[in-house]
Amino acid sequence: MKKLLSTTRTVGDGYAILWTAMWLVMMAAALYFRPLLPVDETRYLAVAWEMWRNGNFLVPHLNGETYSHKPPLLFWLMHLGWSVFGVNEWWPRLVAPLFGLINLYLTGLLAQYLWPNRSSIATAAPIILIGCLFWTLFTTLTMFDMLLAFCALLAMIGIIRAWQKDQPSSLVLLALAIGIGLLTKGPAVLLTTLPVSLFVPYWTFSPKVKKTEKKIDGDNIKFPNKNGTWSRGWSRWYFGVGLALLGGVVIALLWAIPAAMSGGEAYSNAIFWGQSAGRIVNSFAHARPWWWFLAVLPVLVLPWTVWPAFWRALGRLRDVHEDNGIRFCLVWFLPALFTFSIISGKQLHYLLPVFPALALIGSRLLVDHNERHINQISWKQYGLHVPATLFLILGFFLSLIPFFAKIMGLHPIIQEINFVWGLVLALLAAGLIWWGHRINSFMPRIACLASLSIALIIVIHLSLKPVLNERYNLDTFSKQIRQWQDRGISLAYLGKYHGMFNFMGRLEARIVPVGLLHPDLENWQKANPKGYLIVPVGRKHEQATPIYTQPFRGRRFMVITVAQSLAHPEIIDKP
């Protein structure tokens, strides 16, 4: 038995090295081939830059005004790296992805707690998670959801440790997770941390096990807990959860109260009301139908949803009432899915903090399916050729997009995609189709599929590099704006300004947004007769020769003088 456990641990460590290498290669491609993406990534770095520049680490600001949309933890982590390495772009872009990598390890650790004698589940779960195309793509982006996923995993580990080991002190992890989550994205963290701690009676009951039940690795596959579970009664459990919630709130208030006092009444109302009750008040004005998440979820977990083995394994989900671990993950996933389905402004990345739950369920079912039929399953039944065919089609699709775009007269952006890299993905997928029948072990199968997902993300970065550099990279334009400001030229932006130029240009002065509330544009023109106006336009304007132009997405930025804006008001009136 010791030899078997040692061998299993070695295998698990080997795959941990594999998914870490996948992450490294993917992030290297993202950092090298993709610029900061407006408007989200550029905005978050702009907020961090303004806090750093002004030395105000308590109240986030954007373009001279308080920024209440997000708490400051992500910005603080950016500052932490800047204090060591100096102000740079690469560190802020690594912060959120680093949590994506940590989340893989925490997912494996949580699997060990949920299925303690099923080490293969702990090995498979991170591979399945990094293989999900949606998770992998968002791992490369500078957003808040990977930090929120970290908080969810930390909370889950604290809860399961407290229950399994009869250890109230482990609920400190729940308190930390709630506090960190509140400082990351506000009350949204409660949706992914509290349900599991509140519905403990559901996922902890142990049904009677039949004498004929199959044993695996010396432990019943239905996971009856045998190691000193919680013995202090329900009242003490919920008292401990309440203390953890209170502790997490206190952690957040240590920042929120001083920030509210410093930021003023409007900022105080925004962080205490706008981040919580204010969003609930408007939560039923559906931007998308309630079933939208259910409809897109199968796409988000590709390629696993087109793998025949996944559907065969999914049949075991009917035995959910017999598996504490699966019930644990469902209580983690379903309440969040339900809540996100009924609120307004549905965004796909809201689901990222519960994706580890899906990976854990998938790994549990797939490993069980493999072990039950280890001597019966052929390579055709596992069907690596089916998901590999999907990647083959995607590769050819990427390679043929420019050709069809030109014939059909589609937008020029589409015609600029570098098609060569799509063929590389197609060749990799074709190789797996040809060679896949020789893969007889379960872990190499899922590792191959996860590798194709990583390859697709890298190919997307390579293929879109010309478009991204031409139409999304605002670095040169931002530096030009800084030169104008250094010469004392005032600049204004026509429309709502999201701080796209502030970090890359290391701007010291504010860019004034105008045209939002009459007569702010006219007042600015009178006060700054020698100023420059940045105008986003969708078509060419021959009436005036701009000082500077910059392609942006499907449009462009045009910089004109105040005199030109007065002489040609049609540029402003009809952009």
Q: Could you write out the DSSP letters of every residue in 189-227?
A: HHHHHHHHHH-HHHHH--PPPPTT--EETTEETT----S
Residue 274 has a pLDDT of 62
Cα 77 to Cα 450: distance, rounded to the nearest angstrom: 29
Residue 276 has a pLDDT of 53
Cα 320 to Cα 262: distance, rounded to the nearest angstrom: 51
Helix H, strand E, coil C: the string for 383-414 is CCHHHHHHHHHHHHHHHHHHHHHHHHCCCHHH
182-199 mean pLDDT: 91
Cα 299 to Cα 134: distance, rounded to the nearest angstrom: 8
DSSP character at residue 273: I
Q: What is the pLDDT of residues 216-251, one digit of tens each?
A: 443 433 443 444 577 777 889 899 999 999 999 999
315-329 mean pLDDT: 80
Residue 318 has a pLDDT of 73
32-48 mean pLDDT: 93
Residue 227 has a pLDDT of 46
Helix axes 90-114, 355-372, angle to 10 degrees: 50
Residue 409 has a pLDDT of 62
- C-alpha angle 256/258/263, rounded to 5°? 85
Cα 484 to Cα 505: distance, rounded to the nearest angstrom: 11
Cis peptide before 303 (omega within 30 of 0): yes
Does 399 or 124 have the greater pLDDT score?
A: 124
Residue 347: CB atoms within 10 A of its CB come to 11
Cα 396 to Cα 138: distance, rounded to the nearest angstrom: 23
- Is 60 exceeded by the pLDDT of residue 41? yes
The tokens describing 493, both together, are 């932006």
Amino acid occupying residue 194: L
Q: What is the pLDDT of residues 344-378, one digit of tens each?
A: 767 888 899 999 999 999 999 988 877 776 655 54
Does 198 or 555 have the greater pLDDT score?
A: 198
Kindly state the helix (H) or strand (E) to which residue 149 belongs, with its residue range: helix 145-164
The tokens describing 308, both together, are 């025949």
- Is 70 exceeded by the pLDDT of residue 541? no
Does 519 or 4 have the greater pLDDT score?
A: 519
Token look-up 């689901």 returns 351
**Residue 550, strand partner residues:** 557
Most confident of 160-169, 241-250, 381-390, 439-448: 241-250
3-27: b or e for each residue (b if 16 or more CB lie within 10 Å)? eeeeebeeebeebbebbeebbeebb
Residue 174 has a pLDDT of 95
Residue 84 makes CB contacts below 8 A (sequence gap 6+) with none
Q: Is 227 helix (H, G, I), strand (E, B) or coil?
A: coil
Q: Is 556 helix (H, G, I), strand (E, B) or coil?
A: strand
Cα 165 to Cα 168: distance, rounded to the nearest angstrom: 9
- Is 50 exceeded by the pLDDT of residue 421? yes
Does 370 or 410 have the greater pLDDT score?
A: 370
Q: Considering the entire predicted model, what is its pTM?
A: 0.89
